[in-house]
Amino acid sequence: MKHLIGTTLALGLAAPAAFAQSQTITHTQDRGGQIGSEETFTGTAYVAPVFPPEMNGVSAGEVTFLPGARSAWHTHPVGQMLVVTHGTGWVQERGQDKEVIQAGDVVWCPPETEHWHGATDTTSVTHYAIQGNEDGSAVTWGEHVTDEEYAQ
């Protein structure tokens, strides 16, 4: 009986390993990235993918905004989480005051809530932008944030 329990336990622990995949590491220098499109950003924003939407319908990008840079107004069908990793920036929901975000802050932008985010006029900011996809779309872009809106 003791032998049967030991054998069963050993097989039970070994079985998942037979089906497991190996972990992969993507080093920062291999992730690539690009300057954000002038259609969706004002100023200089560098966007580097962290993982693609194949990750259970969720995608993420590491975005660095230089001073004065910001996204256009936009919404996300299932919301967006921003995890600020460096610097100080601003985020604003349409109709609300802009708010300061700093390294360590986490911002939840609810589904279909129009907002923008980016650097302050004097500091850069980097954040991870994590969003789900619905019907193949993760974002709907709107118009650019005007200089007047940005300065308020």
Q: Which CATH superfamily hosts domain 36-151?
A: Jelly Rolls (2.60.120.10)
In the block, tokens 């019907």 appear at 135
Task: With a cut of 50, say whether residue 5 has pLDDT above it.
Answer: no
- At 7 the pLDDT is 43
Boundaries of every domain in the chain: 36-151
The pLDDT confidence band at residue 28, using thresholds 50, 70 and 90, is: confident
8 Å CB contact between 33 and 47: yes
Q: Check residues 18 and 56 and name the one with the higher pLDDT.
A: 56
- At 16 the pLDDT is 53
Kindly write down the DSSP assignment for every residue of 1-51, as one continuous string.
-HHHHHHHHHHHHHHHHHHPPPP----HHHH--EEPPTTTEES-EEEEEEE
- At 29 the pLDDT is 78
Q: Whole-angstrom Cα distance, residue 98 to residue 123?
A: 15
8 Å CB contact between 107 and 91: yes
Q: Answer whether 0.75 is exceeded by the pTM.
A: yes
pLDDT (average), residues 87-115: 98
pLDDT in tens, 54-78: 777 899 999 999 999 999 999 999 9
